[in-house]
Amino acid sequence: MLRRHQLVWLNEAGWATLKSLRCDDVAGTCLAHWASRQLPLVVTQQGAALPPGQVALGLPAPLQWQRRRIALQVPWHHVLRAGEFPQATSVNSLLPSEVRSAWLLLAGALEGVGVAARVHGSFGWQQLTGLGYLHAASDLDLHVVVGDAAKADMATLLLSRASFTAPRLDGEIVFPDGTAVAWREWQPWRLRRVDQILVKRLTGVVMATGATWLGERQMC
């Protein structure tokens, strides 16, 4: 089953299809580079208008291609395999030296409560590709997988207590079925400081009121 922020690698037929698209020089050069090195694409929102048998993918280009966000569609049978963004600890060398110890402690604390954290965004893509994505304002975007609301509480508490402020921690709490919410929105919602929360799924987003969207994942 597809999930948001899942990585996919295409077969040769898939890349041949994408390289044949009519696009401008920036997008075309970027696509050619991706194809030549068999780099991954990322699963994006699968809209209702998507033709049957197609999968919507994204290519967030690095700095050298103007950080262009390239939206793509390919037949599902052109997907060779799927994978994940790098684990939290793998991006440590990309962080400022004064942050690295604190980041490893945070990643270890998340692992210690049974929470899997991965890094997407600029840090994740630079780690994956070796290309230049990072800039002065780059956030550290997290994909934090939790089993239920109690685990989400633990994870967001640890993230909110991080001992560093730069780079800024951003990203989502993600439940096993792929349903996700911004981790910074989870705590105020759980504490009933706000009535609604933006819930993200593979097929779209909805502003949810109440906790019925949590289903069996809800705990006291």
Q: Answer yes or no: do 11 and 103 share one domain.
A: no
Pairing of strands 169-174, 140-145: parallel
Q: Answer yes or no: do 75 and 96 share one domain.
A: no
Residue 2 lies in a domain: no
Active-site residue set: 139, 141
Q: Is the pTM of this model over 0.85?
A: yes
Q: Which domain holds residue 163?
A: 88-217
> Tens-of-pLDDT digits for all 220 residues of the chain?
789 999 999 999 999 999 888 889 999 999 999 999 999 999 999 988 899 999 999 999 999 999 999 999 999 999 999 999 999 999 999 999 999 999 999 999 999 999 999 999 999 999 999 999 999 999 999 999 999 999 999 999 999 999 999 999 999 999 998 999 999 999 999 999 999 999 999 999 999 998 889 876 665 4
HSE at residue 173, side-chain half, CA atoms within 13 A, is 31
Q: Which pLDDT score is estimated for 220?
A: 42
Q: Answer yes or no: do 43 and 66 share one domain.
A: yes
Q: Which uninterrupted H or E stretch holds 7?
A: strand 7-10
